[in-house]
A and B are shown apart, each in its own frame.
Chain A
Amino acid sequence: MIERHQPLPEGAASEINEPRTGQAPDLHGRPLPMRQYSVSETVDAVVVGTGAGGAPLLARLAAAGLRVVALEAGKHWSPARDFVTDEVAQSKLFWNDERLSAGGDPLAFGRNNSGTGVGGSTLHYTAYTPRVQPDDLRLHTEFGVGVNWPLSYEDLEPYYDELERFLGVSGPTPYPWGPARNSAYPLAPLPLNGAAQLMQRGCNTLGIRTSPAANAALSGLYYQEGVGWRAACSNRGFCQAGCTTGAKASMDVTYVPLAVHYGAEVRAESFVTRFERDSSGCITEVIYMREGREERQRCHRVFLCAGAIETPRLLLLNDLANSSGQVGKNFMAHTGIQVWGRFEEDVRPYKGIPGALISEDTHRPPDADFAGGYLLQSIGVMPVTYAAQVARGRGLWGTELREHMRGYNHTAGINILGDCLPYEHSYLELSDEPDARGLPKPRIHFTNGENEQRLNAHAEKLMREIWATAGAHDIWAFPRNAHIIGTCRMGTNSDTAVVNNEGRTFDVPNLYISDNSTFPSALSCNPALTIMALSLRTADCFLERARRMEN
């Protein structure tokens, strides 16, 4: 059993007092003193990407006294200073380099699933943080399809406990589904907004259990190590375009400042393109573009955390870690169909934490004709996002579109978050079309299989029923898939997987991967909390091994 709270190695505490020549901006734009490493010194680790997969391990490695540098393509924002309550102005948070969407169900990227900046996609996630249920990790055993995970719920549980405490997750205790919790959620749930109350009404009548959801947004003032006091959520409802109050536990206000506190350097606007290797195949240098110039950082090891599109893209570009041929394969995206309804009541879908209510009664529906399951979630929505969905999904235009949008304030949604199986026909490849940097654009093929179609159909029927029961009219469904998953599968065998269950690549001894790309199956819950749990676990496994080798 690996210690969860690694004691600092000798010397680490004094290293915290090393001169801090750099600065990282905090929430309000005040400079935090930050250590800086020179590109000519060989640092212990380079972490590429500072999202859900990168930031937690960055903090863990720094806390253990390692000299670590994070290279992040995006900017380092100060939300209270730089963020605006406007969807268009906030498009700066999205990964807007063009990706090519192919297959039977071509996916939207950018706003739909991909962020950039220090904090990665957590800058615009809705902070919905359910835990996985144990059986999702054993899909193949249970249903004979998909794959099992090479680890169990017991491996993740201590990290879930730790994360919820550190981030300040607001949630209900007891939580109605899944294994009993070791401890209560640290904060009470956030208040229900209009959409949540309507979903509750419909579900109550139909006998579906609901509960306030667990959200990594603070329902009260919260003290956080390395960061200080964080303010409570003010119900802005704008989480998907960035939180200005710091109430939402995005990485830029949690693990990143903690990492900086422990002596990590976060180098923003540094776009990694290549890796230098020695004769044994180990990475010796990470090469990146910064302010239009190429720079190199010498390092002992690399943690690649660039997300499930950019991680495999970098590996394919560098012909790295792919002896299995699995890099880019098994691309998945959660089934995420949304059902919208129009109500007599004023809903005002711009207020309150967007995902306030949950039901996991559909985790294994008794009448299912598919493998796996899904959860139900009430949703708020911002106007431009909703209008674009009405245009693309319903094809409304002209007077019809404008009339429909006049009912925006009376609109409420429910969506699902369901499993998605890996398929041979869903994968990422490099195209021969160069982007602005001269690198090939990634092409992503994605097609829902029969299992996803059946699951979506089951969910659509149920959600229509819930809305009809709650009093909605003009009910309509927007088919959609959420999140980018797979492409660097974790497994037990170097022939069929890219990394082992510690996140270490089978091919390159000093290369680790920690992001949504390592998931062997999609899971029927939102991914961020599990990505963070795996991130901490990867760091602990690595530190444990390093310590053993020293002794």
Chain B
Amino acid sequence: MKTYPPGTVRALLDSDMVTPQTREALRARLSADESYDEPSFLDVDLFLTLRAACARLIPQPESAKPIDCASAIDKRLANGEGDGWRYDALPADGETFRRGLRGLDEAARAKFSFSFHQLDDARQDELLLAVQRGDVKGGVWETLSANLFFEELLAAATEIYYSHPLAQELIGYAGMADAHGWQAIGLDQLEAWEPRASEDTSD
């Protein structure tokens, strides 16, 4: 498995390889501490469910301070930010998340007698997989498509995570360092400032 050295994106941001505008946008995202415990759209119980679900969808065991996708989703819902479309089969985004998260928690209580966020990783994964496959019945799921809700939840968490400079660093992305353009663009051609991968022997 390939791993990329830490610190590359911060170093690029400090260099003239990045345009001032790009630097400003990415630094703001790096330094923004978006985490909060007081959600502004969801109620606290649903927020706990969302946070637990995001931790399984995008696990970040290597990070002492994981990128907080749940807070970003809550904020997006509070601001009513859309991306130009939604499945006609789903209600408005806010309603979809409220109902879907409630359904996830109800499934947890029905099957394991605990709230979703209190379950261990394996049980949370089992429930998430059931929702992804549409293998949940009754209650909320009578009026909400489980697999479409799952797709929306997963897409939201994934987009938030991979737009973070530190997540991009982990996959060796250096596209932001384009202030001087790229000359070495062919196969196996790298510019001096592009991060090199090393083979991770730990797995």
Contact = CB atoms under 8 A, between A and B. Distances in A.
A234 B171 contact: no
A392 B152 CA distance: 8
Given A85-B175, A346-B190, A236 B181 contact: yes
Contacts of A346: 187-190
Contact of A237 (B132, B162, B182, B189): B182
B5 to A, nearest CB: 13
Interface residues of A, number: 69
Interface in A437-456: 443
Interface stretch (B38-46, B86-94, B106-114): B86-94
A317 interface: no
Contacts of B163: 86-88, 384
A402 interface: yes
Contact of A110 (B2, B84, B180): B84
Contacts, number: 184
Contacts of A191: 185-186
B77 interface: no
Contact of B85 (A98, A193, A391): A98
- Chain B interface, >50% SS class: loop
Contact of B155 (A82, A98, A391): A391
Interface string B189-203: 110001001000000
Interface stretch (B52-60, B97-105, B136-144): B52-60
Contacts of B89: 102, 106
A207 to B, nearest CB: 21
A127 interface: no
B168 interface: yes
Contacts of B180: 234
A197 B151 contact: no
B70 interface: no
A231 to B, nearest CB: 10
Interface string A107-132: 11111001000000000000000000
A443 B85 CA distance: 10
A224 interface: no
Interface string A385-416: 00110111001011101110111111000000
B58 A111 contact: no
Interface in B19-34: 19, 21-22, 24-26, 29
A397 B187 contact: no
Contact of B173 (A390, A397, A409): A409
B137 to A, nearest CB: 20
Contacts of B190: 346, 348
Contacts of A110: 82-85
B2 A407 contact: yes
Nearest to B170: A406
B173 A94 contact: no
B158 A387 contact: yes
A91 interface: yes
B173 A350 contact: yes
Contact of A97 (B84, B154, B188): B84
Contact of B26 (A86, A97, A390, A405): A86
A84 B179 CA distance: 10
22 contacts: A84-B21, A85-B22, A86-B25, A86-B26, A87-B163, A88-B159, A96-B84, A191-B186, A237-B185, A238-B178, A345-B187, A348-B185, A384-B163, A388-B158, A388-B162, A391-B158, A397-B128, A397-B158, A405-B162, A406-B1, A408-B173, A443-B88
- 7 closest pairs, A vs B, by CB? A110-B84, A234-B181, A350-B175, A102-B88, A109-B85, A352-B185, A387-B162
Given A101-B85, A397-B158, A406-B1, 7 more contacts: A85-B178, A96-B81, A234-B182, A237-B175, A237-B178, A237-B182, A350-B174
Interface of B: 1-3, 18-19, 21-22, 24-26, 29, 56-59, 80-89, 125, 128, 132, 151, 154-155, 158-159, 161-163, 168, 170-176, 178, 180-190, 194, 197
